[in-house]
Amino acid sequence: MLRTTLIIASLTLIQGAAGQISSGGGGVRQEGQAVQAAGHHAIQVLSRQVTRAQAPGRNCTEAIPENKFLTTDKEVYLRFTYSGGAAGDLAAVEWVNPKKSVYLAQPFNNSGSGATCHAWFIGIAGSAAASQPGQWSVRLRWNDAILFEDSFEIGNPGASSLNIVSNGVLPSGTTGAEYDYSFTTAGGKEPVVWSLESGSLPAGLRIASSGRISGTPTSPGSSRFTLKASDATGSNVTRTFAMGVSTADVIITPRSLLFSRAANGDRPAPQMITINSTGAQIDYTVVVEGAPWLTATPGAGTTSGTVAVSVDATGRDQGSYAGTIRVRSASANVNATIPVRLIVEDLDKPTVTRALISTVVGNDWIFPPEGVSRKAPFSKTVYMAADGAGNLYAADALSHVIVKMMPDGTF
């Protein structure tokens, strides 16, 4: 099973941060690289790569490997996946500058032996790394052994009078949402004409001669491409860019519903579910599962949308009934469930629902028919509870409240 964890480290001495988020080495992929030295617990590096951007929302997906960066680039990442090791092993990602000294060490503890995704990065533009162009390397140290070390270069932009100002990592896009970004240059003579030199933009996007990227991304992932800018004097400059595209996030509220009614009483009022999305509108469907007494309308829609949920307890005996509403969206990879519970009570025979009653002091008890009280785990039916002051607590299922009965008999 592949695990993904997240750690953010804030450093003040040297600008840099660390995020343990994905897989990835210096433009290479090496399968089955194993280290079985004493104390290293058979670490196996499954894949690794140096890159400038991870695929948004796809933390364990390998990104495009690179080994040349500019001092104007935002960041450089090391992504890797490994398996093996033992809980408590000490590891560190070490960034080595052109002087062969450790520029930044990012330590972490191994939490187990399963396959784990990582991505650690340092900032370039605006940090001390931008003032140290040359041949760099990044390595993974495990306990007292170096498992691998990969080289990459940080260089200065070309000396052409025409220079591309835009950062090498573009703002992320979202599938189904319109994207619009314009590149900028410094120096040179207008007009500046842009063109795609190599690689490909994310599916659904295009580059105009004005340097504007626009369109609607159609699939998630990361892309790398090289653009060329040429001015009126014939000067030109090329630059490689990376861009990620993620799927839209879907927000469903509330995540559960409860209806209550008296047997042969009025039907409970409908309740509403709202379905929203970030980044782009998405289409969704709504179905009811395992509950003929439950309805949800409409059965399909586009965010932002609402769904009316109704129940019909006609002819149903006293008791508790469970159903499920399922919301699906293929474009956003959503398959969510909303549990729905219906409680039917007989007003002439009041009972306590089967739920845990928590007291103010946290002592939960059950009083079974034999009259011997004992602590009530969550899996047992709870009828009544008491605290150290002698107060009794009982559930009023129809009003959805806990009734407190004090020692003097008052409520």
CATH number assigned to the domain covering 163-246? 2.60.40.10
From the number of C-beta atoms within 10 Å of its C-beta (0-12, 13-18, 19+), residue 387 rates as: middle
250-345 matches 3-155 in CATH topology: yes
pTM above 0.85? no
Q: For domain 3-155, is the CATH number 3.40.190.150?
A: no
Structure token digits, residue 251: 């927000």
- pLDDT, one tens digit per residue, over 389-407 is 777 777 665 556 677 777 7
Any idea where the domains of the chain sit in the sequence? 3-155, 163-246, 250-345, 352-411
Average pLDDT on 296-321 reads 91
Q: Which of 109-123, 145-159, 184-198 has the lowest mean pLDDT?
A: 109-123
**Does 25 score more than 70 pLDDT?**
no
The answer to whether 299 touches 328, Cβ cutoff 8 Å, is no
By DSSP bridging, strand 283-289 and strand 300-302 are antiparallel
31-45, 172-186, 282-296, 358-372: range with lowest mean pLDDT: 358-372
State the DSSP code for 131: G
| pLDDT above 60 for 13 | no
pLDDT at 93: 95
**pLDDT tens for each residue of 244-297:** 888 878 899 999 999 987 656 678 899 999 999 877 788 999 999 989 999 999
Residue 5 — very low, low, confident or very high, per pLDDT cuts 50/70/90?
very low
For the domain covering 250-345, report its CATH number. 2.60.40.10
Q: And the tokens for 351? A: 């009972």
86, 80 contact by CB (below 8 A): no
Longest C-alpha distance within the chain, in Å?
98
Answer yes or no: is pLDDT of 338 > 50.
yes
- Output 160 or 328, whichever has higher pLDDT: 328
pLDDT tens digits along 29-79: 333 333 434 345 578 888 899 988 766 656 677 777 889 898 888 889 998
Q: Is the pLDDT of residue 104 over 80?
A: yes
SS3 label, residue 42: coil
Residue 370 near residue 288 (C-beta atoms within 8 A): no
Look up residue 175 and give its two tokens.
């599938």
- DSSP character for 128? G
CB atoms within 10 A of CB 32: 8
Of 23-37, 88-102, 333-347, 372-386, least confident by mean pLDDT is: 23-37
- What is the rounded CA–CA span in Å between residue 251 and residue 164? 38
